[in-house]
Structure 1
């Protein structure tokens, strides 16, 4: 346990020093009220904090201090143990599509909405180093045509789509 905070600091420091791709931009405008609510994870780049997770969801709401409350939930694939992480996101700009998220204050990570359906039915989240990537949906699955379109756009931005873990949603 005593090594967790120093490890997180090193990971965040190294992430901040990684090469940033100037082509990765957040969407022009995000209506926060439309974005709030429950999102299901369709796919992700694997990271230790989501290892062996299925039935992954993220729920966003406004908290008392007017920031965004983040509740991430999942179940372990083998044990079905439910996991939950509660964090907070703050807006970085007036577009609302760039956020800073923390689950371990004072450490924040970038959360950029880089693709968003006009009807807010799906979103793609990453950050300028492309280390993190999530495909989210308001439903537990996406039509093949939507997935194909998202994957093409991600490939055009040189994301390694072979690294995507397709989330089990039951």
Structure 2
């Protein structure tokens, strides 16, 4: 066998192992039939500070509490994203990203990148309150879900309404990890 063929096969095998390791770290699918966003989103109203009420646990937020997301609309139409949290032991972590609107989605679907052009993820605002007091955010695989509120301690009625709407959208509520807020 030619040396170049052996190197190519070794490279493919290595990529396969890395791919399997990556996929094995992903959480369970909490919704195999992720719906399209229910409403258009006015990003001028969506920007600002959000508190995470609950999420599907994921490797990049593992054991994090006091999670917030601040969205800022830029002059060029992009959205700056600043996610902050407190991890185990109380260490404060933050990460900056940038989001771009998806054409034809009425502001409800964004492409978000936290690592330059190397990783771009889907961010779908699946539903929101008419007054933008809460939102349900997911992505097409059904493995990631975030329930957000403008208030760090929303009323019991609002929490119940968010959870009920999340269930109606087809998500498994038993996979939710409640987020402690200050």
TM range (shorter): 0.7 to 0.9
Report the equivalent of 1:54: 65
Report the equivalent of 2:92: 82
Specify which structure has the higher proportion of strand: 1
Question: How high is the TM-score relative to the length of structure 2?
Answer: 0.78
CA separation in 2, counterparts of 1:69 and 1:11?
Answer: 27
Residues 24 and 127, structure 1, Cα contact 8 Å, conserved in 2: no
Note the alpha carbon deviations across 1:61-93, whole angstroms, 9 max, x for none. 1235431110000011x3211101111110003
Matched, 1:67 2:78: yes
Question: How high is the TM-score relative to the length of structure 1?
Answer: 0.83
- Computing the radius of gyration over CA atoms, which structure comes out larger, 1 or 2? 2
Q: Which is further off, 98-107 or 117-126?
A: 98-107
RMSD: 2.6
SS of aligned partner of 1:79: helix
Q: Name which of 40, 45, 60 aligns with 2:56.
A: 45
**Aligned positions, number:** 160
SS of aligned partner of 1:130: coil
Report the equivalent of 2:7: none
Residues 39 and 127, structure 2, Cα contact 8 Å, conserved in 1: no
CA separation in 1, counterparts of 2:141 and 2:156?
Answer: 27
Report the equivalent of 1:3: none
Q: Name which of 161, 167, 171 aligns with 1:149.
A: 161
Matched, 1:164 2:176: yes
SS of aligned partner of 2:77: coil
Which 5+ residue runs of structure 1 have no aligned equivalent? 1-5
Matched, 1:112 2:114: no
